[in-house]
């Protein structure tokens, strides 16, 4: 199952994230190429395919799965479809790259992981923070002992709301900003600390600015306590003006680091007339702004997909897997439970089986 030449890739979806996948694979084209895209909405797949000069497009992804040359399929569809897609792709004998969050329920997570294992395909989890160059550099410094013992890792992502309207509907998304972006920070802290066992989760959530559009949380704090005593602190918002903001802080017994992806990375620009594009979700290009550059690269998307293609060829082992997605999923369930119950959730005795989606626990927490 480790072929030769470029890995041929199919993409499921045609929106924001699908675009990123195709562009990223083309940017690091040595190891992979997108040969097909699939999207149910008539015309969407074709439009995407034509924009990037991709030869094949499908409205039914199952048709795409019958193409024998495709070795790896990436999933950028809504969260609630991730599980079914993964199972179908694995059963077609193709490797899976699944966007975050992994799925809706813990049962789905287990099914996805088990199916891929049984079918002998890789389940790769598209957590780009494991590849974000600035954050990877901080991890290297930690690994070199530059901070002594790391006891606290913080990650925060904030902007003014999601890419697509379906995120506002918790039935489709499974939760608010904690579900949408908290999965990043949760997986990141876990990975940065070398994946210690999670002991407890404490969370505070609220809907402060977008209550007219959603029942989901638009601002969240999550505190993760791990077995070795380390702490992860994840803070996310859909209620923060002024463009994207993504940052980490690392604290150790002998040092610390701050890293800021947007305001600390960009040009500092003042423009009266404005200009083409600042950064995802920035409100305006007039006045002072922090325009992003080499956006995909600075997030780590091309590096991520390049890595996944090399995993398919057996040259590397996946840095982010279904287990990472499952970890984040469990922590998200626990965080909604904590916010709903006003209690620190001890993970060992926490069982969210049969809960349809994480945010349900905020509205109706399990009784202990």
Nearer to a copy of itself, 119 or 310 (CB): 310
d(CA 119, CA 204): 40
Task: Select from 44-52, 105-113, 175-183, 217-225 the region that touches a copy of itself (CB under 8 A).
Answer: 217-225
Binding mask 174-203 for a copy of itself (x = CB under 8 A): --------------------------x-x-
Taking the chain, what is the end-to-end CA distance rounded to the nearest angstrom? 47
Q: Quote the distance between the C-alpha of residue 349 and its chain's center.
A: 27
Least Cβ distance, residue 323 to a copy of itself (angstroms): 26
Residues 231-250 within binding reach of a copy of itself (CB under 8 A) = 231, 233, 237, 239-242
Whether 97 contacts 13, CB under 8 Å: no
d(CA 231, CA 193): 9
Q: Beta 7-12 vs 150-158: how paired, if at all?
A: unpaired
What is the edge-to-edge ordering of all strands in the sheet holding 72-75?
A: 56-58, 32-38, 7-12, 72-75, 95-99, 123-126
Nearer to a copy of itself, 47 or 233 (CB): 233
Nearer to a copy of itself, 54 or 104 (CB): 54
Whether 178 contacts 202, CB under 8 Å: no
Residue 329 touches a copy of itself, criterion: CB under 8 A? no
Residue 342 touches a copy of itself, criterion: CB under 8 A? yes
Task: Select from 16-24, 86-94, 257-265, 327-335 the region that touches a copy of itself (CB under 8 A).
Answer: 257-265
Least Cβ distance, residue 140 to a copy of itself (angstroms): 7
Residue 225 touches a copy of itself, criterion: CB under 8 A? yes
Q: Residues 6 or more apart from 362 whose CB is under 8 A from it?
A: 175, 205, 217, 336, 337, 339, 340
Residues 258-297 within binding reach of a copy of itself (CB under 8 A) = 258-259, 263-276, 283-294, 297
Least Cβ distance, residue 153 to a copy of itself (angstroms): 12
Task: Select from 40-48, 57-65, 68-76, 337-345 the region that touches a copy of itself (CB under 8 A).
Answer: 337-345
Closest CA to 10 of 104, 88, 110: 88
Q: Residues 6 or more apart from 209 whose CB is under 8 A from it?
A: 218, 219, 238, 239
Interface with a copy of itself: number of residues (CB under 8 A)? 73
Nearer to a copy of itself, 118 or 140 (CB): 140
Q: Which of 120, 229, 314, 356 binds a copy of itself (CB under 8 A)?
A: 229
Residues 305-324 within binding reach of a copy of itself (CB under 8 A) = none
Nearer to a copy of itself, 66 or 241 (CB): 241
d(CA 18, CA 39): 10
Closest CA to 8 of 129, 107, 95: 95
Taking CA atoms, 344 is separated from 105, 120, 177, 245, 334, in Å, by 21, 38, 20, 28, 9
Least Cβ distance, residue 74 to a copy of itself (angstroms): 20
Residues 123-152 within binding reach of a copy of itself (CB under 8 A) = 133-134, 136-138, 140-141, 144-148, 151-152
Nearer to a copy of itself, 43 or 283 (CB): 283
Nearer to a copy of itself, 58 or 251 (CB): 251
Task: Select from 164-172, 256-264, 310-318, 348-356 the region that touches a copy of itself (CB under 8 A).
Answer: 256-264
Q: Which of 89, 223, 296, 311 binds a copy of itself (CB under 8 A)?
A: 223
Nearer to a copy of itself, 99 or 218 (CB): 218
Residue 363 touches a copy of itself, criterion: CB under 8 A? no
Q: Residues 6 or more apart from 182 whose CB is under 8 A from it?
A: 220, 222, 234, 236, 328, 331, 332, 335
**Degrees to nearest 5, angle at CA 261 with 259 and 263:** 95
Whether 98 contacts 325, CB under 8 Å: yes
Binding mask 20-49 for a copy of itself (x = CB under 8 A): ---------xx-------------------
Strand partners, 12: 38, 75
């Amino acid at each position: 199952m480790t072929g030769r030449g470029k890995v041929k890739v199919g993409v499921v979806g045609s929106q924001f994230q699908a675009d990123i996948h195709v562009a990223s694979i083309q940017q690091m084209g040595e190891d992979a190429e997108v040969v097909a895209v699939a999207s149910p909405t008539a015309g969407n797949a074709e439009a995407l395919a034509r924009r990037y000069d991709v030869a094949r497009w499908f409205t039914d992804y199952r048709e795409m799965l019958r193409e024998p040359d495709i070795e790896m399929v990436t999933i950028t569809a809504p969260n609630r479809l991730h599980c079914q897609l993964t199972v179908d792709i694995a059963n077609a004998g193709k490797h899976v790259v699944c966007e975050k969050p992994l799925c809706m329920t813990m049962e789905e997570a287990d099914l996805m992981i088990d199916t891929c294992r049984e079918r002998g395909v890789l389940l790769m989890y598209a957590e780009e923070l494991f590849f974000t160059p600035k954050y990877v550099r901080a991890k290297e410094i930690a690994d070199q002992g530059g901070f002594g013992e790391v006891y606290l890792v913080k990650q925060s992502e904030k902007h003014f709301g999601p890419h697509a309207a379906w995120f506002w509907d918790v039935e489709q998304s499974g939760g608010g900003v904690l579900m949408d972006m908290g999965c990043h920070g949760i997986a990141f802290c876990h990975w940065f600390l070398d994946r210690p066992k999670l002991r407890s989760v404490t969370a505070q959530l609220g809907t402060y600015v977008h209550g007219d559009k959603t029942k989901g949380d638009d601002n969240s704090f999550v505190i993760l306590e791990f077995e070795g005593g380390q702490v992860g602190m994840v803070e996310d918002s859909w209620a923060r003006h002024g463009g994207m903001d993504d940052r980490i802080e690392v604290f150790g017994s002998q040092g610390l680091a701050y890293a800021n992806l947007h305001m600390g990375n960009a040009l500092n620009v003042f423009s009266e007339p404005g200009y083409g594009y600042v950064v995802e979700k920035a409100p305006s290009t007039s006045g002072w702004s922090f325009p992003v550059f080499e956006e995909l690269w600075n997030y780590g998307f091309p590096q991520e997909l390049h890595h996944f293609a090399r995993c398919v060829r057996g040259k590397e082992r996946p840095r982010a897997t279904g287990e990472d997605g499952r970890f984040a999923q469990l922590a998200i369930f626990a965080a909604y439970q904590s916010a709903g119950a006003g209690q620190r959730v001890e993970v060992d005795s926490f069982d969210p089986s049969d809960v349809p989606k994480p945010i349900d626990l905020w509205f109706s927490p399990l009784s202990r």
